[in-house]
Amino acid sequence: MKMYTFSETFRGFVRSPLLVALAAWCAGALTGCSSEDERVRVLVYSPHGKEMLGAYEDLFEARRPDVDIAWIDMGGQDAYDRIRTERQNPQASVWWGGDGMTFDRAAREGLLDPYEPSWAGEAPAYAAGAGNAWYGTFLTPEVIMYNTRSLAMTGEAPPQDWDDLLDEQWHDRIIVRYPLASSTMRTIFGAMILRQSDVEAGYAWLARLDRNVETYAADPTQLYLKLAREEGDVTLWNMPDTYIQSQNGYPFGYIAPAAGTPVLTDGIALVAGGPQPALARAFYEFVTSDSALVDQAHRFYRIPVRNTLADTELPEWMTGVDIEPMEMDWERLSREGPEWMQYWDENIKGRGPAWLADRGLE
């Protein structure tokens, strides 16, 4: 099996309104309520994590002191669900992060305002939504993440491939981010179904994985804490966040599965009818500029989709790492994935052994 490098394959605390209001009230109480924040607020929904979101809040506000960039860090699926719920009264202006399938679905439902960024001509065809509804920013490979410290203590090697996660060796040692709220986990679970002979065999794979799962974490922060505390040793996650959390002091490493891995196209879009559309477009352009992509690659391990950046501008690991991309039927995953996840949630989650036993499966 030929291995490909990224160059070869792909180059061709939340700032919530309540906290803001409380801070403003406290400041006013100390000064006789003599001043208020007169900046224009732009709200961003994103799964990109507090480190990257906080950094780009500061960078944009330094350029535009009249603007207050507020953000809510949530899973890509959660962002879609929230935008859909708020469609009659949009709160966010920018949706920054999530898989292309979910952006396509949002576009079909009229949840996105079309926008053609200044660099649109540099975007690969697969990373551009119909009618300029959304554009791809990053490539996100999914990997097996593990606690390097706990496995070093036991002398064990981490799982080398997806099917290794089903081995009895990992019983009650796997922690999984609750998939229904996460674009990353929906993609991984969907890929595991697609690589089987049929959907029922895919469900059986997920049931065998459930048999080894210690717990399902509600959000990424809980996932990182539980893995670092050695409540489990292994999880399924994405490569950029593994790098970021290891830099934050967590004992995390990753394995790129030998049989291949799904690689998400991460997107950005404007929320239909969102407040301050001109400022939303300015923020969109700012965080997707060439200089921003280079910075995000070096500081936050984000792999740019656009092929116009020179390898010399990117981190060495990014241009040399070996990944075997998994062939994916993205259209089918987009069409049938929500039904698969609903079935998993209602029938398999926490009931994997019983589900298998009912069907005479091991």
Whether residues 219 and 252 fall in one domain: yes
User: Quick one: pLDDT at residue 16?
Assistant: 42
Alpha-carbon distance of 332 to 262, in angstroms, equals 14
232 in the same domain as 160: yes
Domain count, the chain: 2
Same structural domain for residues 215 and 303? Answer: no
CA 11 to chain CA mean position, Å: 21
Please give the share of the chain, as a percent, with pLDDT higher than 90: 84
**14 pLDDT more than 50:** no
Please say if the pLDDT value at position 279 is more than 60.
Answer: yes
Same domain? 172 vs 57? no
Give the residue-averaged pLDDT of 87-96.
Answer: 98
Residue 145 confidence class, pLDDT cut points 50, 70, 90: very high
122, 38: one domain = yes
Same structural domain for residues 71 and 132?
A: yes
Whether residue 205 is found in the same domain as residue 340: yes
Same domain, yes or no: 340 and 197 = yes
Residue 322 pLDDT grade (very low, low, confident, very high; cuts 50, 70, 90): confident
**Co-location of 235 and 335 in the same domain:** yes
Relative to beta strand 234-238, strand 135-147 is antiparallel
Same domain membership, residue 66 and residue 20? yes
* 283: CATH: 3.40.190.10
Q: Are residues 145 and 92 in the same domain?
A: no
Same domain as 269, residue 192 = no
pLDDT for 31 beyond 80: no
The structure's pTM equals 0.81
pLDDT at 257: 94
pLDDT of 17 reads: 43
Residue 101 sits in which domain range? 4-139+265-323
